[in-house]
Each structure stands twice: as structure tokens, then as C-alpha cells.
Homo-oligomer: A and B are copies of this chain.
Amino acid sequence: MSVKQTLLDFNINLPVPFNEKSIMNIKRNITEVLQEMFGTEDSVFEPKPNTMLFFFDKTETQCTVRVFPDGLVTLDVVQYIGDNTNNNTDSYPIWTKVDMIDLRDRIKTRLSCSNARYIPPITRGREICCYRETTDDRIIEYDFDRVVSSEQSPYQHVLIVHSPQFGNMLILDEIEMIAESDLVYTQALLGNGREDYNDKSVLILGGGDGGVLHELLKQNPRADTYYSQFYCMWYSLTPKQIDKSVIDASRKHLRAVCGDSLDNLRGKNYEVIIADCTQVMREFVKEKRRSYLDFQQEIQDLSIRLLSPRGKYFVQGANGFNKQNNLRLYEEQLENLCCPVEFKKEFVFVPSFLELYPFYSFRSVYSV
């Protein structure tokens, strides 16, 4: 079962704010069009002079009309669509896009609107919620058609949903991580072919989806004598997020991303460590006998210390292209690491993100 809510907006060419007579006139015209379209209403309510509710019980439809002081008139058409498994929807028509465009155009003509808009319907009450938002708060609707797996791990909700366009998609605590369509994401993280990983040591912080590991293993990185391994571990900024469930879900359901690289947590030249990476990094830094490490320092500080002199750090920005202020804040943070770094930024459109994201790389200026 679901509820389909279509929004229509009208800009009225009348002097604003409306007077009582013009509001009366707008309401009378809309009432007549609604009656043409939906038949006689079963009841009408007028809780405020500028708000009207129509109930068409025979079609399980409610219409709400709101008149705003600066010329905007909004109409919500809310239709209850019962359970498809029984036949209770057969008895009344379900309004289509063509109906709603027709309704919009009739009202537009009747009220001589300068502008009339159809906003595609929101479907409420579906089993899978397909509505998400970009980092700059724009609504997007995914085409998810089924839940592939859903597990509440000790750390987070690990969800895999299927999209016909993007394949299986990993969502952690309501945040989209990666889908099977997103090889360009992994490629961007690896520097889009500008880096030579042959015989290089790599530490992957996070990467529970296995994508970076999988692509890197094709490029023959080194089994480093110092690290003794090439490492992959699950990591996020809160230490709670050290979650083997993510690796398990990815191994099963994101094969297009991780290939067989997560089938064994240990290989010829890699090891997947399930741990809080800050701790592991601290140990590495000690082993390397580097200078005093303040435990409050951020992960990037740890990283820049841990990196070999010519090493680089690669990361996806946490905000999309349109959050320029947040990107600037991040870049300022980079200026305040324990040593000066130079960074590069590249914007990449990852299919399943539906938003343009920056990918950063940085390294110590001393290594340049």
C-alpha cells in the first residue's frame, strides 16, 4: 500500500497581497476545476480563509489548497492507494501524471496564471524508502526495488539494497557508501591512473567494501618489509565503526566492487585487519620510532606522520561540489596538519551518488 502525493504550484497575476474578494474568486475557480476533475466532493472544509480541504471519499483522494499572500497558490493531491494484493483499488481510478498535468493546465487557464508547475509525486509508505538527499539538501529518488540484506551490527545498520541502474548498493546508517556501478569512485580514490602503485606500500583506512583493495591488487603493490604486509582495515572517524559486518555484506553482495579480494582476509601481499585504525596507526608510528604523538591528533596528522617521505594520502571529500564552504573548511584543516602539505583536488561524478564530489590527494611539501 502507499499514498501518492502530487504537488501543483500556481503563480497568480493579481495584485498582492490578495484581498478578500480575490481569494474568494481563486477558491471558487479551483473548486469548480476540482469538481470537473474528481466529481462532486464528499466534503469541503475551510479552516482558514486561505486554506481549503476537499475530500473525495469515492476515490480516496484529498486535496489541500493553500493561498499565500504573495501570489503563490499550492495544491496537494493526496491519494491513498490500497494494498495491491486485494482488489480494493479496482473500484476507483488512480490518478496518473497525465491527469495531474491536465488538472494543472485547467487551473492555470482558469486563473490566468503566469506560471504553473507540476512537481513529480512523492510516494509515501513504500516498503523501501527511496528518498535521499544530496549534501546540499536536494531531494533525490532512487530506483531501489528490493532489500538484499539488512543487519543491525553492534556498530551500525548495514544495509544492502538493489537498484536496477546501479546494482547492489551499500548503505551504512542511512548513508550511501558505494554501488556496483561505481568503479569510477575507486579509480578516483586511486588517483585516476596518475599513480604507479607497482611495488608501493599502501595502507587503506576504511575500505570495507573491498573496492580499493581489489583494484590495487591488480597493480602488484609491494609486500613491504617494514609493514610486513599491505593492509586493509575498516575504519571511520568514530572508533565504534570497526565493523566486520560491512566486509561480510560486501563480500557477498558487492562482488562487482570487491571481486574475490575479501574472500580471504589475508593474501600473498595483503592483510585485512578488523580494528580501530587509529590504534593500529599509533602502533605503526611507534614502531617507526617517529616523534611524540599526541593522542588528540587527527587521523590525517597520524597519516602524514606515518607516510614515507614521498608518500601520498588519498581521500574522498565528505561534501559535494555545492558545499564550497565546507570544502574550504576541510582545505583549511589540511593547512594545519603537523607539517605543511600540498593538496590536489579533482571533481568526479560517481553514478550512484547523483552528485559531484571532490577527491583529494595530499603529501608533505618536504617530499616535493
Residue from the list B122, B134, B165 in contact with A119, Cβ < 8 A: B122
B122 in contact with A130 (CB, 8 Å): no
Residue from the list B9, B47, B138, B354 in contact with A43, Cβ < 8 A: B47
Indicate whether A154 reaches chain B with its CB closer than 8 angstroms: no
Report chain B residues within 8 Å CB of A51. Answer: 53, 55, 62
* Min distance, Cβ A75 to any Cβ of chain B, angstroms: 10
Residue from the list B120, B131, B138 in contact with A137, Cβ < 8 A: B120
B136 in contact with A143 (CB, 8 Å): yes
* Min distance, Cβ A200 to any Cβ of chain B, angstroms: 30
Indicate whether A215 reaches chain B with its CB closer than 8 angstroms: no
CA distance A130 to B322 in the complex (A): 15
* Given A47-B55, A356-B165, A9:B124 Cβ within 8 A: yes
* Given A66-B62, A181-B349, A141:B143 Cβ within 8 A: no
Nearest B residue to A141, CB-CB: B138
A53 in contact with B47 (CB, 8 Å): yes
Interface of chain A residues 98 through 134 with chain B (CB within 8 A): 117, 119-122, 124-125, 129-134
CA distance A209 to B122 in the complex (A): 33
| B-binding segment of A76-84, A254-262, A265-273, A286-294 | A76-84
Report chain B residues within 8 Å CB of A120. Answer: 131-133, 137-139
Report chain B residues within 8 Å CB of A142. Answer: 138
Nearest B residue to A356, CB-CB: B165
Indicate whether A74 reaches chain B with its CB closer than 8 angstroms: yes
Interface residue SS majority, chain A: strand
CA distance A68 to B66 in the complex (A): 22
Indicate whether A229 reaches chain B with its CB closer than 8 angstroms: no
Nearest B residue to A44, CB-CB: B47
Residue from the list B119, B136, B165 in contact with A322, Cβ < 8 A: B165
Indicate whether A176 reaches chain B with its CB closer than 8 angstroms: no
Nearest B residue to A354, CB-CB: B354
Indicate whether A201 reaches chain B with its CB closer than 8 angstroms: no
CA distance A181 to B43 in the complex (A): 50
CA distance A322 to B3 in the complex (A): 22
* Min distance, Cβ A119 to any Cβ of chain B, angstroms: 5
Report chain B residues within 8 Å CB of A164. Answer: 321-322
Of the listed residues A11, A62, A119, A354, the one surrounded by the most CB atoms of chain B closer than 10 A to its CB is A119
Report chain B residues within 8 Å CB of A1. Answer: 68, 70, 72
Indicate whether A303 reaches chain B with its CB closer than 8 angstroms: no
* Min distance, Cβ A341 to any Cβ of chain B, angstroms: 27
Nearest B residue to A164, CB-CB: B322
A68 in contact with B3 (CB, 8 Å): yes
* Min distance, Cβ A85 to any Cβ of chain B, angstroms: 11
Residue from the list B165, B320, B354 in contact with A140, Cβ < 8 A: B354
Report chain B residues within 8 Å CB of A11. Answer: 125
> What are 30 pairs between A and B in contact, CB < 8 Å?
A1-B68, A1-B72, A3-B66, A3-B74, A7-B122, A9-B125, A43-B47, A43-B48, A47-B47, A48-B55, A66-B78, A68-B125, A70-B83, A72-B124, A72-B125, A74-B125, A119-B131, A120-B132, A120-B133, A120-B137, A121-B137, A121-B139, A122-B139, A130-B138, A134-B143, A138-B141, A138-B142, A165-B322, A165-B355, A349-B349
Known interface pairs A51-B55, A117-B131, A164-B322; 17 further A-B residue pairs with C-beta atoms within 8 A, sorted by A's residue number: A1-B68, A3-B68, A3-B74, A5-B7, A7-B124, A51-B53, A51-B62, A70-B82, A97-B137, A117-B129, A120-B132, A120-B137, A134-B141, A138-B143, A139-B141, A165-B320, A181-B349
